[in-house]
Amino acid sequence: MEIVEGIHQVEGIIGNVFIVGDQDGLTIVDTGMPRNAEKILDYIRKMNHKPSDVSTIVLTHCHVDHVGSAHDLKELTKAKVAVHEMDADFVAGKKVLPVHKGVAGLAVRAFSGLMKPKPVQPDTALKENDRVGELVVVHTPGHTPGSISLLFPAKRALFVGDAIRVEDDKIAGPSEQYSFNIKLAMESVEKIAQLDFDVLLSGHGSPLRPDASSRVREFLVSVEQKRKYDEIT
């Protein structure tokens, strides 16, 4: 579906997949779970584009539900893969991200074991303020070390990966049980709140609009109010 002009979402995939069109061609933002490459390419064909029109595949972070189809898409489109420098070795299979503890860890290990992604060598190691076409990289660590958001100023849109979850058209914040550092993750939400955007596009859940940046700030106010309440009770 087209969210705003020039930004599409491929529906029916675990882990949201977005396609951005600009003067440099098409950019895929995240690739969902493994075995979804053809579904993504079918959508691109319905947009009256060819797989070769994809210039870049940007990964917001290294988890399987975001990088799962990156290897196959790179093979089929010959596009370059870009990921933050701190997640690059995890995507390439050179390092293994530390597993979560407890029930969350068991779930992640089982999920990743069943749907293990093929390693893919990134072509570009991103850092703060780099650009991918018209997208501006914002380093938002916490969910993983190299989690990024992507600001699209011309469309007043922000792709946040899993830095912010959206549930029932409401901001739920980062997931504590699946984040490697929840303190960093909350600091990244504060960083996101300082940006100006109208549409928030999360790795899970529906697009959040309008006035999305204001809603992030309202979420942070509610978190602080709860913290103060918990201190006195």
Q: What whole-number percentage of the chain has pLDDT above 90?
A: 80
> 18-21, long-range: CB within 8 Å, 24+ apart, which pairs?
18/159, 18/201, 19/43, 19/44, 19/47, 20/133, 20/134, 20/135, 20/152, 21/47, 21/49
pLDDT in tens, 30-45: 999 999 999 999 999 9
Q: What is the mean pLDDT of residues 52-66?
A: 97
| Average pLDDT for 93-107 | 69
Number of domains comprising the chain: 1
Q: What is the mean pLDDT of residues 91-102?
A: 80
Mean of all residue pLDDT scores within the chain: 92
Give the model confidence (pLDDT) of 156-210 as tens digits.
999 999 999 999 999 988 888 888 899 999 999 999 999 999 999 999 999 999 9
What is the per-residue pLDDT for 101?
Answer: 58
Mean pLDDT over 6-28 rounds to 94
pLDDT at residue 114 above 70? Answer: no
- Distance linking the first and last C-alpha atoms of the chain: 46
Domain span at 133 = 2-232
* Average pLDDT for 45-53: 97
Beta bridge partners of 151: 136, 158
Report the CATH number that the domain containing residue 162 is assigned in CATH. Answer: 3.60.15.10
* Sequence-ordered list of residues with C-beta below 8 angstroms from that of 183, at least 6 positions apart, any chain: 142
